[in-house]
Amino acid sequence: MKKKTLALLMATAISATMLSGCGSDGGNTAADNAASTDDSTTAMDDGETQDVAEDTAVDDGAEAPAADKVYNIGICQLLEHPALDEATRGFEQALTDLLGEGNVNISFQNAQGEQTNCATICTQFVTDDVDLILANATSPLQAAAAATNTIPILGTSITDYATALDIADWTGATGTNVSGTSDLAPLEEQEKMLVELFPDVQKVGILYCSAEANSKYQADVVKGCLEADGIAYEEYTAADSNEIQSVVTSACESCDVLYIPTDNTLAAATEVVSNVALPAGVPIIAGEEGICSGCGVATLSISYYDIGYTAGEMAYDILVNGADITTMDVKYAPQVTKKYNASICEQLGITIPDDYEAISAE
């Protein structure tokens, strides 16, 4: 009996020593420590963990998240739309890749296109004391900024942060608890695309929702480009989705090409737009791929998944590495792509140059 007791005590002491040795390595995860009962398996796990850390670190010397730390993140997305959905998907994937599924708790809320819902959602996030808020689109960003000046806020699918946050002296960073990624494509290049495809255009109708400040910003830039090229234009604005059909009808009656910037209200109503513009034979140049796939002819578009993923990397840098969000510059898509809607081009008899990529039909 004494021999059995002594053997048991020795085994316990050895196990405790082994566990203590594993616990001294700050890079090991909880799963690595649990696997330490098998020496050969532990050696393999340690090497694999190091490789993953090297592959996923945002900055050199980035610290791995604590195994028992769970980060609570609130996502407020303005509405359900392919572009915004892709940005959210990229953000969530980045956090999963960098933090691990067990280390992040995401509360996703859809505001159903309502500003009041954005305010309610963001206020609840503040009450819940989340570690970080992702604001997907301009209205959620404005609501989040109004709700807190301490919790880090990252935006994505934001065209112009200076316009959205009413910042007069823009330097690239907000100087507040807000940063993020922009979905702004080169507007001058979009206007050149319009002229390239329709060199005989007489009048361009610029269509957007008057309630979206970022849409007006884009419209103003495009107007300047059209003026420089001596092309006539007219603005057509809808206050909300109920006015879109009548506004598009008016635009198609007096314009031979329409331009729609990245606009959430129009993005949610592309079927309405197409049902008017397509029978009228009026082509549309769109500010982003989602609108183009619904009613447009061509677009110079970014990847919303990519800007969402970049926002996720920024979140990791803030949460794990302690990066100062007040000095973080807003980031932009690394590349843009010329894309076209093959179905609408065929129906309108439009030939697209070879350097354009067809939007995949899903």
Question: What mean pLDDT do residues 223-251 have?
Answer: 97
Residue 54: pLDDT above 50?
no
The mean pLDDT value of the chain amounts to 85
Residue 56: pLDDT above 60?
no
Domain 71-183+303-329 has CATH 2.40.50.140: no
Residue-wise pLDDT tens digits, 130-164: 999 999 999 999 999 999 999 999 999 999 999 99
Residue 15 is predicted with a pLDDT of 40
Please, where in the chain does CATH 3.40.50.2300 lie? 71-183+303-329, 187-301+337-358
HSE toward the beta carbon, residue 350, CA cutoff 13 A: 26
- 146 in Cβ contact with 119 (< 8 Å): yes
Question: What mean pLDDT do residues 50-59 have?
Answer: 38
Residue 185 is predicted with a pLDDT of 86
Tokens 């100062």 sit on residue:
324
Indicate the range of 43-52, 59-68, 83-92, 100-109 predicted with least confidence. 43-52
CATH architecture of 187-301+337-358: 3-Layer(aba) Sandwich (3.40)
In terms of pLDDT, which residue wins out, 238 or 51?
A: 238
| pLDDT tier at 233, thresholds 50, 70, 90 | very high
Residue-wise pLDDT tens digits, 277-330: 999 999 999 999 999 999 999 999 899 999 999 999 999 999 999 999 999 999
